[in-house]
Structure 1
Amino acid sequence: MTEIIPSLAAIAPRYDALLCDLWGCLHDGKRPFPAAVAALQGFRRTGGKVMLVTNAPRPASSVIAQLDSLGVPRDAWDGVVSSGDAAQYALLSGAVGRKVYPIGAPKDEPFYTDFAQDLAELAASQPKVQRVSKLQDAEGIVCTGLRDDLSETPADYRGELLMGKTLGLPFLCANPDIVVHFGDKLLYCAGALAREYEEMGGSALYFGKPHPPIYDLARRRLARLGLKDDAQLLAVGDGIATDIQGAMGEGIDSLYVSGGIDAESFGPDSDNPDKALLETWLNEKMMSPTFTIGHLR
């Protein structure tokens, strides 16, 4: 049974590092949440490390640029790990072939061009990945998101997905999230297309939360910051099927931010989730976060 807590500070002394989600926890795609920023800054002042772990399909450098543009101060975090980082390794390793059919927005272009040093070395040692414009010429599909997530839905891609499934193409999903908050709107992510593809009978590969590759990468980057293997980690996020399921699979304590994607399920006051509604909902989902908080603060 989850414990509802008033603030991160109430449990912070138990942990050496946070694996903290971004969208819905630290910002809404348009502006940072001041209380969340202050909570992370406070955690770092006591000696804790903050690794931002996001299902964004772009490399960490692009995520950092976005955080800067939103006004998230750099003293709120120590490092960034993205689904894009983990998926780039799979792309460069040939997980879906060397000729790929891309689905995604122009903003996701860095996924194909901007590599961290270790991945740049891998890219230099492997045959080049080529993007093709026709599914018939592809060995696999790479999806970083919808081409226009402000107006499109998965239904707009049904024809392409059916063709890919018919051709037997593997589908690399660079962002397992189904939806994400953008201001007061919910936008579809690459995970929504991957789900449709699997429901059609296609094969999809995932590299962000809740899947192991992104956690392996986060641990390696925390180790570079000086954390030991036995460091106590706390995963923070508002995605029950990504942040919380992933943490449970990794044996990591978790803090569920109930005022995010599913806020309407827990009563009218998103700052203070109704305990009975919360417990019923979690039981239905068969999930058990260690702690729950309305909003990160």
Structure 2
Amino acid sequence: MTRIIPSLASIAADYDAVFCDLWGCLHNGKTPYPAAVAALQAFRAGGGKVALVTNAPRPKATVIAQLDRMGVPRDAWDLVVSSGDAAQAAMLQGAVGQKVFHIGAEKDEDFFTILPEGAVAPERVGLLEAEGIVCTGLEDDLSETPDDYRAQLLLGKTRGLTLLCANPDIIVDMGDKRLYCAGALAGAYEDMGGKALYFGKPHPPIYDLARRQLDLDDPRILCIGDGIGTDVAGGRAEGLDTLFITGGLAADQFGPDVANPDPDLLAAWLEERQIFPSHAMGFLA
């Protein structure tokens, strides 16, 4: 049964490390949450390690630079592991060929340019010449929806192209605006009968990468996130304990006091989805 807890500190002694999501947990896409920052700082001060595990479709260097600009202090985390890193590694190994069609924004350019030493990115070509599709997101996530890509996706599916999805998230909240992510396009592609490959949460590659970089012997890990189908489902599939942040993507589901989810509403909502986190709390603190 999921236990609602008052703070990360109340269970911190049970874990050696946390895999913490970013959007909806540590920041809202614009500014960090002070209480979440303090909670992670305290966990580290107690001897724990913090891995920020994100479905951002960009290399970790770009994610770190974004966190710095936002004002997230570096003493709140030990390492950053991104879906972009895991997906990029697969792309460089030829998962979708050597000529690819890119769907994504200019801000995702680093996916193709910040590469491991000696690596060469595949050639980016038009959809008719492509051997595969790399999707890092929508070109303009402030105004577009997956419907704007229906024609491109249908053509890719007709040509039998595999789509590499660099961010399995379907939606995120930037401040008070809800945006679509690459996972929404990949889901639409699969609905059409196309094949998609995923490397971020809830899929194993990003957890494997995070464990290797954590470099601890058999650590007790807690996965923290506001995505029931990504952060929580992924952590459970890995056999790890999970902490569901109810005040993120599903904030309107658990009663009027977002910081204190209604236990009965939460239990019914989880029962409907048949995904049960170990712990829950309104906001990371």
Q: Answer yes or no: is 1:9 the counterpart of 2:41.
A: no
Give secondary structure in 1 for the equivalent of 2:117: helix
1:1-297 correspondence to structure 2 within 5 Å: 1-115=1-115, 119-121=116-118, 123=119, 128-132=121-125, 134-223=126-215, 227-228=216-217, 230-297=218-285
Which amino acid is 2:152 matched to? E
| Distance in 2 of aligned mates of 1:262 and 1:98 | 39
The number of residues matched between the two structures is 285
| Distance in 2 of aligned mates of 1:66 and 1:286 | 35
Q: Deviations over 1:71-123 (max 9, x none)?
A: 000000000000000001110000000000000000000000112xxx434x2
| Distance in 1 of aligned mates of 2:75 and 2:127 | 45
Q: Deviations over 1:188-214 (max 9, x none)?
A: 000000000000000000000000000
Give secondary structure in 2 for the equivalent of 1:137: coil
Give secondary structure in 2 for the equivalent of 1:58: coil
Q: Deviations over 1:140-198 (max 9, x none)?
A: 00000000000000000000000000000000000000000100111000000000000
Give secondary structure in 1 for the equivalent of 2:85: helix
Q: Which structure 2 segments of 5+ residues have no match? A: none
Which amino acid is 2:35 matched to? A
Q: How much has 1:220 moved relative to structure 2? A: 0.5
| Distance in 2 of aligned mates of 1:262 and 1:255 | 14
Q: Which structure 1 segments of 5+ residues have no match? A: none
Q: Which has the higher helix share?
A: 1
Give secondary structure in 1 for the equivalent of 2:271: helix
**TM score, norm. by length of structure 2:** 0.99
Give secondary structure in 2 for the equivalent of 1:135: coil
Q: Give RMSD over aligned pairs.
A: 0.7
